[in-house]
Amino acid sequence: MVKEQYFTLPLMGVAVPAEQGAELGSAADVAGDDMEVEGADELFEHFAITVDKGQKMLRLDKYLVDRMEHCSRNRIQTAADNGSILVNGVPAKSSYKVKPMDHITLVMPYPKREIEIIPENIPLEIVHEDDDIIIVNKAAGMVVHPGCGNYSGTLVNALTYHLRDLPLFQEGDMRAGLVHRIDKDTSGLLVVAKNERAHTRLAKQFFDHTIHRRYVALVWGNLEEDEGTITGNIGRSPKDRLQMYVFADGSDGKHAVTHYKVLKRFGYVTLVECRLETGRTHQIRVHMSWQGHPLFNDERYGGNRILKGTTFSKYKQFIENCFTLLPRQALHARSLGFVHPTTGENVYFESELPEDLLSVIAKWEGYVASRQLDEE
């Protein structure tokens, strides 16, 4: 993982402090299921370059292509056309002539990775599709893109088959059209770009944190407040690289903010809606666990055992039955809103809670009702 403090541009050897804007949009390594991303650990790169004092005037696209490894002039021009390249804070065209001490920032989708993508005819639940985007309601259990140990059966394998007539999905790109991801065992909505223009414009919105993302989660415990905000830097755990960790003192990790609202209380567990302000790896899962409220049946963050309630055999059996109904963390990406990359209109999509999560919620409702009857 690239540290946030400094980012060295390929071939240039210029390290730019993070406070000046240099950062890598994605905090995750490509590691299949182990590092699938919560909400939208964004699949874009953010570069920051300060032009040397002795630089002669040169077209912006030519200047950048000479300094960025594995980045075509066409890719840079597409980013410029979509307002994703700023010079001194102002969108610049490819024809702009760079000058000494210009400060250039770029936001672009990740370049393609070399891996064989096998198109697979896997059924997808498509919520919306037009010439530029496709909204997919991903089922729990599906990995978003190929990685270590997951080279088939992924969302990208399915998209490569379903969108096989489109240029973006004919090049064997393991991240074709993706601008964000959600965990393998998280269900819910994803937006995928169908062309380079849409890809670049969506990436810019994720970078600017203007995408609206809301999740529904069932967490252990009874939250004190009906609404709240969790703020804490998130980075790799120093003890376990498969886990993320909150650096409460801000000494490491990336700034992360999660807003939550209680939807329903069941005493020992609480149904909440979470709104992501940032998109970090496992953000909701690690933030809630840090606050003492791990997601129900989240094995990685300790939610797969009885954390609240009694140890009586009847209650224990009830929890085990719930875990059987929902053999994953109780998290669903329910809604997604953004500016359409072509029409410029605000669009909003919402999905119903999946059957496994609904079943567990119904069991908790029944459990609470029966307890109230016993008390009466």
- The Cα–Cα gap between 103 and 7 comes to 15
Listed in order, the ranges of the chain carrying CATH 3.30.2350.10 are 214-332+356-375
Query: What confidence score (pLDDT) does residue 215 get?
Result: 98
pLDDT at 151: 72
Place of tokens 């402090």: 17
3-state secondary structure of 43: coil
Strands 133-138 and 187-193: antiparallel
Is 183 catalytic? The answer is yes
What pLDDT, on the 0 to 100 scale, is given for residue 147?
A: 65
* The pLDDT of residue 26: 34
- What are the residue ranges of CATH 3.10.290.10 in the chain? 6-30+44-109
Give the pLDDT of the chain (376 residues) as one tens digit per residue. Answer: 222 222 223 323 232 322 222 222 332 322 233 333 333 355 556 677 888 888 888 999 988 888 775 577 887 888 888 788 889 988 899 999 999 999 998 876 655 555 678 899 999 999 999 999 999 999 999 999 876 556 789 999 999 999 999 988 887 666 778 889 899 999 999 999 999 899 989 988 988 889 999 999 999 999 999 999 999 999 988 888 778 999 999 989 989 999 999 999 999 999 999 999 998 889 999 999 999 999 999 999 999 999 999 888 999 999 999 999 999 999 999 999 999 999 999 999 999 999 999 999 999 999 998 887 666 5
From the list 41, 61, 102, 183, the catalytic residue is 183
Residue 16's pLDDT is 31
Give the number of other Cβ atoms within 10 Å of residue 147's Cβ. 22
* Paired tokens of 130: 């037009």
pLDDT of residue 168: 87
CA gap 231, 3 in Å, rounded: 20
Q: Are 176 and 201 in contact (CB under 8 A)?
A: no
DSSP string spanning 286-301? HHHHHTT-PBTT-GGG
The CATH class that applies to domain 6-30+44-109 reads: alpha beta
Block residue for tokens 């650990």: 41
Cα torsion 112, 116, 120, 124 to 10°: value is -20
Q: Is CATH 2.70.50.60 correct for 214-332+356-375?
A: no
Render 173-197 in DSSP notation, one character per residue. Answer: BTTTTBS----TT-EEEEEEESSHH
Sign for the pseudo-dihedral over CA of 2, 230, 287, 139 = negative
- 3-state secondary structure (DSSP) of residue 233: strand
What is the model's pLDDT at position 70? Answer: 59
Residues 24, 260 contacting (CB under 8 angstroms):
no
